[in-house]
């Protein structure tokens, strides 16, 4: 199934590079492009997108405002932030407001593509350079308490790797498992922990002392 991708990016050269190169990778098609949040929100093409690839630093109200506005809608695409801002406070705000992932510009195109796939499938992607700082901030904001879970050692290993910001293929390589097996393991972890996302699974595991950074 082809992933419908909408790009909100004001840097014309960077945008053109993404629009030219990403579709060469299977299963990605650009359905629209805007240079500011206001234009993207007013574009009917955004309604047909599976994933919004969003810069934060743009003219007008910017990317965080865009995430906020989208979260008020009945339905909206998964949001993958691709920006230069590496502040853990900004990463925290973006995820808290509704982004499914956060990558830094300069990330290899292959990893950007994998991030698009992961968030389209309901995953959460945090740039590996930012992961430890993000999870520590996320945990301190929520408080450190929580029950233990009936997780086996392999599932705990997987959670620790997730906290480092690894994508599904990287998790598979590290665990010596196929990607389909990783997805099944994630589903099993989510059921055991009664959560629906990587963010919540890692947060609860950290609260329970199962994950250390």
pLDDT digits (tens, 9 = 90+) for 103-144: 999 999 999 999 999 888 877 788 877 776 776 666 665 554
77: tokens are 């695409």
In the prediction, which pLDDT does 64 show? 95
C-beta of residue 164 within 8 angstroms of C-beta of residue 133: no
**CATH says 145-207 is which class?**
mainly alpha
Cα–Cα distance measured from residue 79 to residue 148, given in angstroms and rounded to the nearest whole number: 31
The predicted-structure confidence for 65-74, as pLDDT tens digits, reads as follows 999 999 888 7
Q: Which of 65-69, 93-97, 165-169 has the highest mean pLDDT?
A: 65-69
Indicate the domain borders of the chain: 3-127, 145-207
Instruction: Please state which of the four CATH numbers 3.40.50.300, 3.40.50.2300, 3.60.15.10, 3.30.465.10 is assigned to the domain occupying 3-127.
Output: 3.40.50.2300
In the prediction, which pLDDT does 157 show? 92
- Identical topology for domains 3-127 and 145-207: no
Mean model confidence pLDDT for the chain: 86
C-beta of residue 52 within 8 angstroms of C-beta of residue 30: no
In the prediction, which pLDDT does 79 show? 94
Q: C-alpha distances in angstroms, 154 versus 3, 118, 136, 157, 171?
A: 31, 21, 23, 5, 12
């Amino acid at each position: 199934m082809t992933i419908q991708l909408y790009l909100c990016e004001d840097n014309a050269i960077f945008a053109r590079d993404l629009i030219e190169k990403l579709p060469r990778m299977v299963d990605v098609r650009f359905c629209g492009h805007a240079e500011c949040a206001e234009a993207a929100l007013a574009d009917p093409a955004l309604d047909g997108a599976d994933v919004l690839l969003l810069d934060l630093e743009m003219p007008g109200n910017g990317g965080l405002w865009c995430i906020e506005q989208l979260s008020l809608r009945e339905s909206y695409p998964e949001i993958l932030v691709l920006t230069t801002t590496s502040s853990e406070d900004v990463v925290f705000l973006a995820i808290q407001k509704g982004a499914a992932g956060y990558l830094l510009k300069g990330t290899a195109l292959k990893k950007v593509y994998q991030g698009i796939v992961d968030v389209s499938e309901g995953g959460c992607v945090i740039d590996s350079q930012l992961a430890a700082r993000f999870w520590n901030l996320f945990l301190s904001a929520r408080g450190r308490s929580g029950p233990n879970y009936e997780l086996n050692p392999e599932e705990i290993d997987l959670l620790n790797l997730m906290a480092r910001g690894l994508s599904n293929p990287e998790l598979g390589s590290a665990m010596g498992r196929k990607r389909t097996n990783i997805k099944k393991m994630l589903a099993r972890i989510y059921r055991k922990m009664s959560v629906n996302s990587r963010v919540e699974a890692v947060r609860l595991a950290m609260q329970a002392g199962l994950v250390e950074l």
